[in-house]
Chain A
Amino acid sequence: MQLWLIPLLPLAGAAINGLTGRRTSKTVQSMVAIGSVLLSFLWVVKTLMALMPLEERYVEHYFTWMASGALNVGVDFAVDRLTAVMLCVVTGIGTLIHIYATGYMHDEEGYYRFFAYLNLFMFFMLILVLGGNFLLLFVGWEGVGLCSYLLIGFYFVKKSASDAGKKAFIVNRVGDFGFSLAMFLIVVTFGSLDFPTVFAKAQQLPIEHSAGIVTAICLLLLVGATGKSAQIPLYVWLPDAMEGPTPVSALIHAATMVTAGVYMCSRSAALFMKAPIAMDTVAIVGLATAVMAATIGLVQNDIKKVYAYSTVSQLGYMFLAVGLGAFSAGIYHVVTHAFFKALLFLGAGSVIHACHHEQDMRHMGGLRKKIPHTFNVLLIAALAIAGFPFMSGWYSKEEILGAAHHHHMWMYWAAWVTAGMTAFYVFRSIFLTFFGEYKGHAHPHESPWSMLGPLYVLAALSLVGGYFFNIPHILEPVFRGIVPEGHMEHSLADMILGTSPGIIGIFLAYVVYVAKPGMADSIKNSFSGVYNVLLNKYFVDEAYDATIIHPIERTSRNFLWKVVDAGIIDNGFVHGFSGAAYNFGGMLRHLQGGLIRNYAAWTVVGVVFILGALTVMGGGR
């Protein structure tokens, strides 16, 4: 099936643009960039058609990457339905965003560099979902982190951009630390990193043997996932990642890369199902993240920041699903979220483009008439994320709420409130941007069709994607035998109850920002304490700086380097020791100047002398 073509095509695109980009025209660069991803998408479609119905896992082995002792890691690509879904999302949405980006980035410096990075990202993301073992998944995992670093820091002349890129990489490294430890434990426990081997052995392990170690493995995998998928406590990099160009935010920091953690946990469902404590932890982390990020999203003024926190919050939703054992609901939300969140970001990009790089919603308003196409698609996206009935987001959110309802009622209500907040802040952004009077000074203009085309495709997907792509049904064979069967009953009352927070949220936002425009300010003033805490994101960045980063830096500089290294070891022991030796030999005065060469020369002479003497003594043989 030549699965290798799927990632290699974007890699080739990256290589061509990266190496020749300075001498080719933008048209050529766009064709290479879009063409390579589009071909990859077509190859995915062709492959999946051929592999239908894909009930079993299909594997291709290429070569052994590393073999040492009992461990043998191959470069294997494997496709099952879970991978198939991810492949479609990544290459499909990826192609749309590439097309959009040719319009959005048209006047930027370093156009070819941007697309080289973007194609490279596609390569690693496809490795991540195709990899047939944990280590190959990890290759993609680190690789997408690298591309994220490069793309966040794309405007590297700006300090805030390069800071954000670095922060993303390092925070992700903390997560990867957990992931690697999980892998070490997997190898020690199961002797392999191949998915089928590990999962089969995990199934056979008697529970009393497995509970501790498998729980440890799953918690460490969760650490990895909190890094990549921006969950508590490692979510802090994602909002800053908005320093990157908007298409990057859409592709990497909304639709694909950040969902890698959800994919990884779902892939490892067989392990997680053996570790109930880890599952509960996943659910609680996800829910806490969902609630916390949504509250922050309520008050942000930068349109991209609102959507960034929204992404963190929605990812939390997905983790809630995973933690409740509703893996396919989590992936369902991955897919629909990819549609509407990519659309939200690209739409926001179109707004920003129209307003000449203004991102603050307080300087927008009234754009509905000036950029009607953008308004149309953003409205659809907002309805989808708010869970408006029969839009794509509604289906996946219902699944997750259903799962929560089934498990713990308090989780259900927390998720319910979050859904309401989600609808509120998204419609807040819509109303602030498109309604009222225009408050900026630019002359807003509609975006070119290279940008609007992809937006309308995504809008269509956001409208009906949830209905057409019934992910839980598609994924049924993947989780068969791992997750206990049993359909949850959705009564009409449940459905209405689950839909209500979205409607209420939209209504409240309408009241506060359109019907009674002064109300937002009066609420802000009466709750100024809470408002400030939220506006400053609970001061988490500041807390990390004060409790982790600064102490490490200060200790390293003032204690480890200046005291331990230079002071105790070097000045104390080394100089003390050698000084004593020199004094004893009365050689100290020879230390200065050219005499030292003599000293070394004497050493050479000495060595030669000893060797010569030995040769002579040895009878000159």
Chain B
Amino acid sequence: MNLLDILIAAPLLGFLITLMLPKGNAGLVKLFTLIFSIGVFAASLLLIGPVLERPAVMTWVTDAPWIGTPAIRYHVGMDGVSLWLVLLSTLLTPISILLSWKYIDHRVKEFFAFLLLLEFGLIGVFVAVDLFLFYVFWEVCLVPMYFLIGIWGHDRRIYAAVKFFLYTMVGSVLMLAAILYIYSKAGTFDYPALLLMMESGKFTMTHLEETLLFLAFFLAFAIKVPLFPLHTWLPDAHVEAPTAGSVMLAAVMLKMGTYGLLRFCLPMFPNASKENANWIVVLAITGIIFGALVALVQPNMKKLVAYSSVSHLGFVVLGLFSGNQWGLDGAVYVMLAHGISTGALFMLVGFLYERQHSLEIKDYGGVATPAPWLSTVFLVTTLASIGMPMLNNFVGEFLVLQGASQINIWWAVFAATGVILSACYMLWMYQRTFFGETPDSVKHHMHDLGAREWACIVPLLVLMVWMGIAAQSFLPSIGASNKTIIDRTALQTKSTTTHAEVSNHGR
């Protein structure tokens, strides 16, 4: 049992303890979950050192049998990509708890307990290397988020929660079927073992099998990303979710999809990934432009940020299916950067909502006069989101576009229009919210950031700048992990082509 196992178990334990706390004592619940999740975050920092030493291989591995038949193993480990995603989860959980401090006033205990359960699921998703275990964690994430939206959401919460749930379920059912099919053929759920079998030729797929399996996985992940045109659950979920729900959803949960594409789709189905890359990239670029254009005309702040997420995640998919080092590195970097900056955006929109009780942009105006610091912080976050150099998103978007342009310059041309449009919709929202005369209705409620709010936002601001300037704190480990994936893909495609050549010659 190593540190990672403890870290996986801890949020589950915290969840159970929270449920057992006395119901009336909301203060105790908040304090406990906050301190507990900060402890988890602090412990997760200890994961970094060993992973950075050898980021290309799995560190902190535990491989133990869980269920005999079918052979499901508790097999976890982390490389240079999963490390940062785990840290993103452990960082944002305490922040989400802190920012819900006053926002949540009913069923307090369950709310904070669910946040810990969500953390448990998220960490699990990013470290599981047994296919079935991965699927279990994947589903575990779904449940707390469903409740967070369905119980503590806004007026149309039920609709949004069901939509979120059904959308994801459709995808995950297909993924489960694909996982079971693979098991029936290969006799194992164990992912590293499976890859070894594929390398040695013990497990082969026909072209049709590979394509279908790829599509099953791809669909599950694409819904989660969400990739155009499977995105319509996202705006509803975001608008209805409580602030903490939106933050966790945008910052971490969306990355489950892109992480799945990177970890499972590309290495397991290299040929199918290559063959299908073209139309997937077309969808990704459509998403970039479509999301941005629709964001441009949203009257609701959360919807606007949600559509901007569709646009940003399009960059991730574009990078992944460009398939080169730049594309993959950039994709992972955008995943992390988007987590920080869009998480912060939803948080700041939440702060505005707590003051003004509206998400409609037209109910604001002139906020900069009564709340200058809130405006400044919002501006920095806006700039991060629109890819300002020296802030986090720029590095990722630059690498993604660089990767895309190496394959096809037109991909970069079309995708880069998203960068222009992002400035349009974000600055327009910013102008209408923060600039101009301050109406009385705004003036009365709009106090500046308080200490608790500062505590929530400062870590994210620091990371925006850090990731923008010191990209090399992250890129070498991400790059090393991605390189193994690229090498494997290249090897696989090569071996199959030689295979084909040999059989051709045989004839």
Does B354 have its Cβ within 8 Å of any Cβ on chain A? Answer: no
The proximity string for A residues 164-199 relative to B, scoring 1 for CB distances below 8 Å and 0 otherwise, is 001001100110110011001101100000000000
Q: When the two chains form the complex, which single residue of A166, A174, A574, A578 contacts B431, counting CB atoms closer than 8 Å?
A: A166
Q: Across the interface, name the chain B residue whose C-beta is closest to A614.
A: B67
Are A574 and B294 in contact, with the CB atoms below 8 A? no
User: Contacts A157-B369, A578-B166 known; A64 to B67 CB distance under 8 Å?
Assistant: no
Q: When the two chains form the complex, which single residue of B68, B139, B147, B423 contacts A607, counting CB atoms closer than 8 Å?
A: B139
Chain B, range 237-281, C-beta contacts under 8 Å to A: none
Q: When the two chains form the complex, which single residue of A71, A578, A615 contacts B326, counting CB atoms closer than 8 Å?
A: A71
Q: When the two chains form the complex, which single residue of A149, A169, A552, A600 contacts B165, counting CB atoms closer than 8 Å?
A: A600
The proximity string for A residues 131-172 relative to B, scoring 1 for CB distances below 8 Å and 0 otherwise, is 000010011001100100100010011010011001001100
Chain B, range 273-318, C-beta contacts under 8 Å to A: 290, 293-294, 296-298
Does B459 have its Cβ within 8 Å of any Cβ on chain A? Answer: no
Are B68 and A561 in contact, with the CB atoms below 8 A? no
Interface residues on chain A, number (Cβ under 8 Å): 65
Does A66 have its Cβ within 8 Å of any Cβ on chain B? Answer: yes
When chains A and B are docked, how far (Å) is the Cα of A513 from the Cα of B471?
60
User: Contacts A67-B476, A71-B326, A170-B420 known; A569 to B229 CB distance under 8 Å?
Assistant: yes
Are A591 and B325 in contact, with the CB atoms below 8 A? no
Are B389 and A614 in contact, with the CB atoms below 8 A? no
Q: Across the interface, name the chain B residue whose C-beta is closest to A557.
A: B297
Chain A, range 562-605, C-beta contacts under 8 Å to B: 564-565, 569-570, 573-574, 578, 591-592, 596-597, 599-600, 603-604
Are B326 and A65 in contact, with the CB atoms below 8 A? no
Are B416 and A177 in contact, with the CB atoms below 8 A? yes
Are B366 and A157 in contact, with the CB atoms below 8 A? yes
Q: Could you say which of B3-11, B85-93, B397-405 contacts chain A?
A: B397-405
Are A184 and B67 in contact, with the CB atoms below 8 A? no
The proximity string for A residues 65-83 relative to B, scoring 1 for CB distances below 8 Å and 0 otherwise, is 1111111000000000000
User: Contacts A67-B472, A184-B412, A596-B162 known; A162 to B326 CB distance under 8 Å?
Assistant: no
When chains A and B are docked, how far (Å) is the Cα of A10 from the Cα of B472?
26
Are B69 and A617 in contact, with the CB atoms below 8 A? yes
Are B401 and A180 in contact, with the CB atoms below 8 A? yes
Residues in chain B near residue A169, CB distance under 8 A: 423, 427
Residues in chain A near residue B143, CB distance under 8 A: 600, 603-604, 607
Residues in chain A near residue B65, CB distance under 8 A: 621
Residues in chain B near residue A156, CB distance under 8 A: 368, 434-436
Are B402 and A159 in contact, with the CB atoms below 8 A? no
Q: When the two chains form the complex, which single residue of B70, B329, B428 contacts A166, counting CB atoms closer than 8 Å?
A: B428
Q: Output the least CB separation between A162 and chain B (Å).
A: 4
Q: When the two chains form the complex, which single residue of A143, A166, A618 contacts B72, counting CB atoms closer than 8 Å?
A: A618
Residues in chain A near residue B469, CB distance under 8 A: 65
Residues in chain A near residue B420, CB distance under 8 A: 170, 173-174, 177
When chains A and B are docked, how far (Å) is the Cα of A604 from the Cα of B69?
22
Q: When the two chains form the complex, which single residue of A67, A71, A599, A611 contacts B136, counting CB atoms closer than 8 Å?
A: A611
Q: When the two chains form the complex, which single residue of B69, B406, B435 contacts A618, counting CB atoms closer than 8 Å?
A: B69
Q: When the two chains form the complex, which single residue of A138, A162, A578 contacts B389, counting CB atoms closer than 8 Å?
A: A138
Residues in chain B near residue A66, CB distance under 8 A: 395, 398-399, 471-472, 475
Are A555 and B436 in contact, with the CB atoms below 8 A? no
Are A146 and B435 in contact, with the CB atoms below 8 A? no
Does A556 have its Cβ within 8 Å of any Cβ on chain B? Answer: yes
Are B405 and A553 in contact, with the CB atoms below 8 A? no
Residues in chain B near residue A163, CB distance under 8 A: 431
Does A468 have its Cβ within 8 Å of any Cβ on chain B? Answer: no
Are B402 and A184 in contact, with the CB atoms below 8 A? yes
Are A69 and B369 in contact, with the CB atoms below 8 A? no
Q: Output the least CB separation between B283 and chain A (Å).
A: 13
Residues in chain B near residue A518, CB distance under 8 A: none
Are B423 and A173 in contact, with the CB atoms below 8 A? yes
Does B46 have its Cβ within 8 Å of any Cβ on chain A? Answer: no
Chain B, range 343-402, C-beta contacts under 8 Å to A: 366, 368-369, 383, 388-390, 395, 398-399, 401-402
Are B158 and A142 in contact, with the CB atoms below 8 A? no
When chains A and B are docked, how far (Å) is the Cα of A597 from the Cα of B369?
44
When chains A and B are docked, how far (Å) is the Cα of A187 from the Cα of B472?
19
Does A560 have its Cβ within 8 Å of any Cβ on chain B? Answer: yes
Q: When the two chains form the complex, which single residue of A146, A181, A574, A600 contacts B412, counting CB atoms closer than 8 Å?
A: A181
The proximity string for A residues 42-74 relative to B, scoring 1 for CB distances below 8 Å and 0 otherwise, is 000000000000000000000111111111000
Does A486 have its Cβ within 8 Å of any Cβ on chain B? Answer: no
Does B161 have its Cβ within 8 Å of any Cβ on chain A? Answer: yes
When chains A and B are docked, how far (Å) is the Cα of A570 from the Cα of B231?
9
Does B424 have its Cβ within 8 Å of any Cβ on chain A? Answer: yes
Does A529 have its Cβ within 8 Å of any Cβ on chain B? Answer: no
Are B437 and A64 in contact, with the CB atoms below 8 A? no
When chains A and B are docked, how far (Å) is the Cα of A99 from the Cα of B70?
78
Does A619 have its Cβ within 8 Å of any Cβ on chain B? Answer: yes
Does B80 have its Cβ within 8 Å of any Cβ on chain A? Answer: no
User: Contacts A169-B423, A570-B232 known; A157 to B436 CB distance under 8 Å?
Assistant: yes
Are B368 and A188 in contact, with the CB atoms below 8 A? no
Chain B, range 402-439, C-beta contacts under 8 Å to A: 402, 405-406, 409, 412-413, 416-417, 419-420, 423-424, 427-428, 431, 434-437
Q: Output the least CB separation between A607 and chain B (Å).
A: 6
Residues in chain B near residue A185, CB distance under 8 A: 405, 409
Residues in chain B near residue A617, CB distance under 8 A: 67, 69
Q: Across the interface, name the chain B residue whose C-beta is closest to A167.
A: B427
Are A621 and B68 in contact, with the CB atoms below 8 A? yes
Are B67 and A621 in contact, with the CB atoms below 8 A? yes
Q: Across the interface, name the chain B residue whose C-beta is closest to A570.
A: B232
Q: Output the least CB separation between A281 and chain B (Å).
A: 19
Q: When the two chains form the complex, which single residue of A181, A574, A604 contacts B232, counting CB atoms closer than 8 Å?
A: A574
Residue of A67, A69, A187 with most partner-chain B CB within 10 A: A69
Are A143 and B395 in contact, with the CB atoms below 8 A? no
When chains A and B are docked, how far (Å) is the Cα of A304 from the Cα of B412?
39
When chains A and B are docked, how far (Å) is the Cα of A287 from the Cα of B377?
43
Does B14 have its Cβ within 8 Å of any Cβ on chain A? Answer: no
Does B330 have its Cβ within 8 Å of any Cβ on chain A? Answer: yes
Closest 5 CB pairs of A and B: A69-B325, A618-B67, A184-B405, A557-B297, A618-B68
13 A-B pairs in the complex with CB atoms less than 8 angstroms apart:
A63-B472, A69-B325, A146-B388, A157-B435, A173-B419, A173-B424, A185-B405, A556-B296, A556-B297, A570-B232, A591-B162, A607-B136, A619-B68
A residues with CB within 8 A of B: 63-71, 135, 138-139, 142-143, 146, 149, 153, 156-157, 159, 162-163, 166, 169-170, 173-174, 176-177, 180-181, 184-185, 187-188, 552-553, 555-557, 560-561, 564-565, 569-570, 573-574, 578, 591-592, 596-597, 599-600, 603-604, 607, 611, 614-615, 617-619, 621
Contacts beyond the supplied A614-B70, A615-B66: 13 A-B pairs with Cβ under 8 Å: A68-B330, A70-B325, A163-B431, A180-B401, A184-B409, A185-B409, A552-B296, A556-B296, A560-B293, A561-B294, A597-B147, A597-B151, A621-B67
